[in-house]
Amino acid sequence: MKHYDVIVIGSGGGSKITRPAANLGLKVAIIDKGKLGGTCLNHGCIPSKMLIHSADLMAELEDLDRFNLSLKALPKPSFSKLIERVNGVIDKESASIEPLYHKHPNIDYYKEFATFVGKKTVQVGSKTITGDKIFIATGARPHIPDIKGIENVPYQTYFEALRAKKQPKSLIVVGGGYIATELGYFFGMLGTKVEFVVRSEMLKNEDKEISKAFEASFSKRFIVHKKVKPVSVSYKEGVFRLSCDSPGKKKKILKAEGLLIATGVMSATRDLGLEKAGVKVDERGFIEVDSKLKTSAKGIYAFGDCIGKHLFRHSANFQGEYLFKTYFQKGKKRPIDYPPMPHAVFSNPQIGSVGFTEEALKASKKPYIVGKAFYKNSAMGMALRSEEGFVKLLFDKRSKKLIGAHIIGFDAASLIHMPIAYMNMKASLEDMLKTIYVHPALPEVIRNAARDARGKLA
């Protein structure tokens, strides 16, 4: 039985511990059966955004007539070459990690599944190892809804969709969250006929004003079946048949060449044997941690998607950096202090968001003011001929501090970084108004929203 100072299970967010700990002279084991780099690199954020960029270009070409430009015919996408190019880049990035581990004298890499067989004891293939500190960063896996017959049909999740060898002529997307809207948008803009099956509403966790604007715009491009529940599915002669219950208990049957299940994720901890290590999970399977990311088992920590808090790679990175500073460097072990946690939806229209939604503020009965401004009422917004883009800022009515920001429209994922910075600096409405904004750059619409909020103080 081999003993390590540190065992890291998962090579995505786990990278924030593995090499930094080894660089301190500690003996480290990194365990991951899958491709190195985790979900974000191999099956998530990075390849999806590379593919979606092509969809964005197609969307711009479709809208050329709005800018008094004409195109005789839209270019024909080379789907297989696009998939091959993107995944070639991704695979090269992933493959570049293993040599770094092998070169490091303090790192042992196990390309195996990890299973706890006791407290601080892990089975990896035919070997059993122990560790003083164990960090679990196994991420998440696709959630598969309860649909009769689903286990007998060749559906896809984001894992398969991002490496699809053939483009379907038609596609049913089950789900209305960010994975569904991003990947459905990608396939749709490259020529697939896409239909969305949504049980409630699209992007339901966004600020409601934002999600409604998104749905109104998105529904102009794609067929969206709202308040529809998938009941059963079959697959015959290359065609999926999805039977759904719709309002009024009416049956609806949708047919397509492809079926993408994108109904969220769940913790990837099912086969870890956590109970043998004394690690508790909640009713959803996510690992329970305290304010210092400790699990219920001494010396075992967890972070990233597997704990179910802020399911983003940037939050996993933040948590990993906190763990390294807290447990490998000298100093007082303070609880993790999350700054405003932003996110973005890279569909069309794009969304960027940080802080409170208006619904959360109403529920908390916290007094607030709203500042809102449309892209089209700014100089650059006029140039873009934006129809749906707008910025929504939320301020604490008493302190005038910015406590929430939500943007929908062109480049929203980049624009949101101004409000993120203001919130991190605990900036007030006055701070935002005394900032000089470049004219006629798009961020002027953020200033306009701040001016709108000031007008509501009178």
Per residue, the 3-state secondary structure of 271-297, as one string, reads CCCHHHHCCCECCCCCECCCCCCECCC
- 3-class SS of residue 361: helix
The answer to whether residues 405 and 394 touch, using CB atoms and an 8 Å cutoff, is yes
Q: What is the pTM of this model?
A: 0.96
pLDDT reported for residue 228: 94
CA distances from 10 to 28, 222, 261, 296 (A): 13, 37, 24, 19
pLDDT at 13: 95
For the annotated catalytic residues, the residue numbers are 439
- Per the CB < 8 A criterion, the answer to whether 429 and 456 are in contact is no
| Mean per-residue pLDDT pooled into runs of 10, the chain (458 residues) | 97 97 98 95 96 97 94 92 97 97 98 96 97 97 96 97 96 98 98 97 97 97 95 98 87 96 94 96 95 98 96 96 95 93 98 98 97 98 95 97 98 98 97 97 98 92
Helix axis angle, 178-189 relative to 208-221, nearest 10°? Answer: 20
Rounded CA gap, 240 and 254, in Å?
8
pLDDT of the residue at 331: 83
Structural domains for the chain: 2-141+266-328 (3.50.50.60), 150-263 (3.50.50.60), 349-455 (3.30.390.30)
Looking at residue 247, its pLDDT comes to: 79
**pLDDT recorded at residue 328:** 96
- Taking only the tens place, the pLDDT of each residue in 300-324 is 999 999 999 999 999 999 999 999 9
Mean pLDDT of the residues in the chain: 96
